[in-house]
């Protein structure tokens, strides 16, 4: 039996779908559906139970009597908004919640995989190495990134990386993100802009080393993320904190053109002013150093940007097939 926290969310629901494809449906989903559209990500999924996140945290406090012991916990549940300003909420929801789960999983010897983030690397001035000899030198640009950084530092300080697995996701895109509002991927937003206006709007650059639209990110397809998590479930001896990215930085222009190409349209891009509140927190370049996960045994590679965008646009967005 597997517990998937954030199991109705973007990455979590895709993981559940992939587990179902592999014949696994002995799953407990933990989430907070509220008044969102996340419930749609559960339609068609096979699982045992749904638990509200708050009820699950209460069960954790009394886990000797109230919680079944799963074979694994895939902890994707977190607030992933890079613009969230409530630091106490982020610390409780992203950091303390994970600490509770780690304590329980270690005591019960449960396989534990959790989501970290490339947001911990900040502006990248200290590199993107997941060897983390100098993890304390990383400077996240927002509280979301720091909530993950704080946790990763704790894991390394207590040498928990020998028994659990943390995944530092770079720019993940793909189906099942539709409920995320302002935090949806640029692929999703670009598709909607093209549908409505025939154009894509990208932020102008305010960095002398990058022309407009030439800011770079490491884009990783959510189906690759699901495949990697399944592989880690099948290989419980692989632990540590790993970057999850393609290892190739691509420009926003590349991404926008890939969306136009998937729609068989000529590219038409406008560059707009960046909101003031983002200018000092904007990452102009991210690129995963992914040799560590490859050396650990991941041999299946990553979907290139053009192929991932094509699958997402043609097989989901354009067909209004909203759930993977």
Name the token pair of 170.
């770079």
Concatenating the DSSP letter of every residue in 87-132 gives: HHHHIIIIIIHHHHHHHHHHHHT-EEEEEEEGGGGTTSTT---SS-
- For 2-173+218-247+287-303, the fitting CATH number among 3.30.420.40, 3.40.50.720, 3.40.50.150, 3.40.50.2300 is 3.40.50.720
Please give the span between the terminal C-alpha atoms of the chain, in angstroms, as a whole number: 22
Torsion sign (Cα): 209, 210, 215, 216 = negative
Amino acid 65: pLDDT: 63
Catalytic, 144? Answer: yes
Give the Cα separation of 310 and 148 in Å (integer): 31
Catalytic, 319? Answer: no
Amino acid 64: pLDDT: 61
Identified catalytic residue from 53, 180, 261, 292 = 180
pLDDT, tens only, 135-189: 999 999 888 898 999 999 999 998 988 899 999 999 999 999 988 887 899 999 9
- pLDDT greater than 90 at residue 315: yes
pLDDT, tens only, 228-282: 999 999 999 999 999 999 999 999 999 999 999 999 999 999 999 999 888 877 8
State the average pLDDT over residues 304-317.
Answer: 97
Amino acid 128: pLDDT: 95
Name the token pair of 121.
């690397």
State the average pLDDT over residues 188-193.
Answer: 96
- Residues in a beta bridge with 165: 113, 240
- pLDDT greater than 90 at residue 302: yes
Amino acid 94: pLDDT: 83
Identified catalytic residue from 18, 97, 144, 178 = 144
Indicate the domain borders of the chain.
2-173+218-247+287-303
- pLDDT greater than 70 at residue 319: yes
Q: Residue 101 burial by CB count (10 A; 0-12/13-18/19+): exposed, middle or buried?
A: buried
């Amino acid at each position: 039996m597997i517990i998937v926290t954030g199991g109705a969310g973007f990455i979590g629901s895709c993981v559940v779908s992939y587990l179902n494809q592999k014949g696994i449906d002995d799953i407990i989903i933990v989430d907070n559906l509220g008044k969102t559209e996340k419930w749609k990500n559960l339609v068609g999924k096979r699982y045992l139970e749904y638990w509200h996140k708050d009820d699950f945290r209460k069960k954790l406090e009394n886990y000797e009597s109230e919680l079944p012991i799963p074979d694994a916990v895939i902890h994707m549940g977190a607030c992933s908004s890079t613009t969230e300003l409530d630091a106490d909420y982020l610390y409780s929801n992203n950091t303390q919640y994970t600490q509770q789960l780690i304590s329980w999983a270690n005591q019960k010897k449960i396989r534990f995989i959790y989501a970290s983030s490339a947001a911990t690397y900040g502006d990248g001035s200290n590199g993107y190495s997941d060897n983390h000899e100098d993890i304390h030198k990383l400077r996240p640009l927002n509280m979301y990134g720091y909530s993950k950084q704080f946790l990763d530092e704790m894991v390394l300080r207590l040498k928990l990386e020998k028994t659990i697995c943390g995944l530092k996701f770079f720019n993940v895109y793909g189906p099942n993100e539709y409920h995320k509002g302002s935090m949806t991927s640029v692929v999703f937003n670009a598709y909607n802009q093209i549908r409505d206006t025939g154009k894509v709007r990208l932020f102008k650059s305010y960095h002398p080393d990058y022309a407009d639209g030439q800011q770079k990110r490491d884009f990783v397809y959510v189906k690759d993320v699901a495949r990697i998590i399944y592989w880690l479930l099948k290989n419980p001896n692989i632990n540590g904190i790993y970057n999850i990215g393609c290892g190739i930085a691509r420009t926003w222009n590349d991404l926008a053109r890939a969306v136009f190409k998937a729609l068989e349209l000529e590219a038409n891009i406008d560059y707009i002013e960046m909101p003031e509140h983002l200018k000092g927190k904007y990452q102009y370049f991210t690129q995963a150093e992914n040799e560590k996960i490859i050396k650990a045994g991941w041999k299946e590679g990553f979907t290139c940007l053009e192929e991932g965008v094509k699958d997402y646009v043609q097989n989901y967005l354009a067909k209004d097939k909203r759930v993977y």
